[in-house]
Structure 1
Amino acid sequence: MSRPFLTAHWRNLCNLTYAVPPERLEPLCPAGVDLEVRDGESYVSLVGFDFDDTRVLGVPWPGYRAFPELNLRFYVRHEGERGVVFVREFVPKRLVAWMARTLYDEPYRRAPMASDRRVESDRLTYSLGVTYGGRRHTVRVSTANRSPSVPAEDTDAHFFKEHTWGFGTNRRGRTLRYRVEHPTWAVYDLDSVRIDVDYAALYGDEWAFLNDAEPVHTLFAKGSEVAVYPPETL
């Protein structure tokens, strides 16, 4: 199917990345998909952003056009193509979560969420919060300026924000993939990052070690229009 299933504008993409020993992530890789390893380390990223002007098969659904998302992902490759696998994704819309689980077999859950973007004379501030597991979890970033730039392809910023495929496993145990297209994203220089998240509450006890970890890389991207295509089995 050459037509995108979903189009939207993804805005305010906040990416907080942690180094993780490969043996923690390899069991989570779908069949036929290889964990991406750099200098002996693999990586997971907590990513929050805003959907805007969301359309399904070109149709805007009232009440479902704008909402935030928060997810935990890690990085993989399949036959030279880069992609991600999601551990869990949160959205505030029950129908969105149901549709993603049903059509893409993605691990979406619904939870109360809100995001806020403030523009000042010399900076931007973005915050995202989700209520789950008995508490409020928040991420907040402030930029050092209001002028984003596109990082070079050999930078960590490019590595952690640019990939083409999402991978997962369907109910029959087969590996799925779907294509995500967007222009190369510009990023802001960051002035501050605040993380108040209980990873065990959000993603399970096996992720509690991230509560005491420091991100090895943080970025905040402006975003762009995106197109997400229907899934296919490998």
Structure 2
Amino acid sequence: MKFLTAHWKHLLLANYNVQAALLEPFVPKGTQIDAFEGQIYVSLVAFMFEETRLAGIPIPFHRHFEEVNLRFYVSPKKDPSIRAVTFIKELVPRRIIPLIANNLFHETYAAVPMDHGNDPKRHWYSWQNASHNRFAANIDSELVLPPAGSLGEFITEHYWGYSQGPRRTLQYEVRHPQWRCCQIEDFEIDVDFAATYGEAFAFLNTQTPANVQYAEGSAVSVSFPSQL
């Protein structure tokens, strides 16, 4: 049964190479870090939620909003072929979203003031915590389906999520068609990673991402969670 349906649009994804030791404390039980060609990535992802419904019901004032998250890639130990994500923290501008997601999915949502701008060739997202943060990009390349076996495919093609609860790991399925993407060369990342995601990630303040991508997004659905 679908817990959530929405359109995820105008995704910006900045992908950083990191060491496994950084992420080990955040790996849900029963899963393991998933690498691409021997490299481990953590991704700063910003996008729009549009036409959001919970169990088929539109919630007033919670249909259109921004999300920014920091995520990395895992697979269940019982089936390493499954590509999945888990989150360090997810930011949204509406307080009811963390209330629902953190309790039902054991996620790590927080509500902060957010803003965005989406034009055909430029997209930006901003949020305010201890500092003002901004992720922006100019899109000047053709959008195509990422080639099989490419980094673009690895980053964007994940259809499961895992989260660590107090006593168990939860899993949920995310369904959407493959997204058209492009690599971004002209981008701006002005983010206080320590203030947003904790001191362990402060080094990302001065690290250039290995790769930045744009994905146009699509309709998505998220299942109710189940125990791993």
Deviation digits for residues 48-73 of structure 1 (CA, Å, limit 9, x no counterpart): 00000000111111211000000000
| Equivalent in the alignment of 1:38 | 36
Alignment match of 2:48 (pick from 47, 50, 56): 50
Measure the CA separation in 2 of the matches of 1:22 and 1:39: 14
Identity score, percent: 37
| Equivalent in the alignment of 2:2 | 4
| Equivalent in the alignment of 2:190 | 196
Identify unmatched segments of 5+ residues in structure 2: none
Q: How many residues align?
A: 225
CA contact (8 A) 1:22 1:41 kept: no
SS at match of 2:153: helix
SS at match of 1:52: strand
Measure the CA separation in 1 of the matches of 2:162 and 2:198: 20
How well do the aligned residues superpose, as a CA RMSD in angstroms? 1.1
| Equivalent in the alignment of 1:227 | 221
TM-score after normalising by structure 2 = 0.95
Measure the CA separation in 1 of the matches of 2:20 and 2:37: 11
TM-score after normalising by structure 1 = 0.93
Tell whether 2:159 aligns with 1:164: yes
| Equivalent in the alignment of 1:72 | 70
Tell whether 2:136 aligns with 1:140: yes
| Equivalent in the alignment of 2:127 | 130
CA contact (8 A) 1:9 1:225 kept: yes
Measure the CA separation in 2 of the matches of 1:129 and 1:12: 14
Measure the CA separation in 2 of the matches of 1:126 and 1:56: 27
Deviation at 1:192, TM superposition (A): 0.7
CA contact (8 A) 1:188 1:222 kept: no
Deviation digits for residues 198-223 of structure 1 (CA, Å, limit 9, x no counterpart): 10010011110111111011100000
Residue type of the alignment partner of 1:153: A
| Residue range with higher mean Cα deviation, 184-193 or 98-107 | 184-193
Measure the CA separation in 2 of the matches of 1:109 and 1:215: 24
Deviation at 1:189, TM superposition (A): 4.6
Identify unmatched segments of 5+ residues in structure 1: none
Residue type of the alignment partner of 1:171: P
Deviation digits for residues 7-36 of structure 1 (CA, Å, limit 9, x no counterpart): 000000110000001121123211110111
Deviation at 1:118, TM superposition (A): 1.5
Deviation at 1:191, TM superposition (A): 4.5
Displaced runs of 4 or more, over 6 A: none
Measure the CA separation in 1 of the matches of 2:148 and 2:47: 22
Measure the CA separation in 2 of the matches of 1:182 and 1:42: 24
